Structure 1
Amino acid sequence: MIRVLLADDHPVVRTGYRRLLEQAHDIVVVHEAADADGAFAALVAHAPEVLVTDLAMPGGGLELIRRARAHDPALRILVFSMHESEAMVQRALEAGATGYLSKASEPGQLVDAVHALHAGRRYLGEGLERALRGRDPLGESARLASLSEREREVFRLLAQGCSPAECASELGLSAKTVSNHQTVIKEKLGVATSAALAHLAIRHGLVSV
Structure 2
Amino acid sequence: MLLDHGERILTASEAIFRGTGTKLSGKVAGIHWHYGTRSHAPELTAGYYNTRFRDGYLPIASMFARHGVIFNFTCIEMKDWEQPGDAQCSPEKLIKQVILATRKAGVPLAGENALPRFDQDAHNQIIRNANLRLPEDSGNTTVEPMCAFTYLRMSQHLFHPENWRLFVSFVRKLAQGQATSNSWEQEHRDTDKFVHAGGPMVQEAAALLH
TM-score of the aligned structures, taking structure 1 as reference length = 0.31
* Bigger radius of gyration among the two: 2
Bigger strand share: 1
Higher relative contact order, chain-length normalized (CA < 8 Å, sep 6+): 2
TM-score of the aligned structures, taking structure 2 as reference length = 0.31
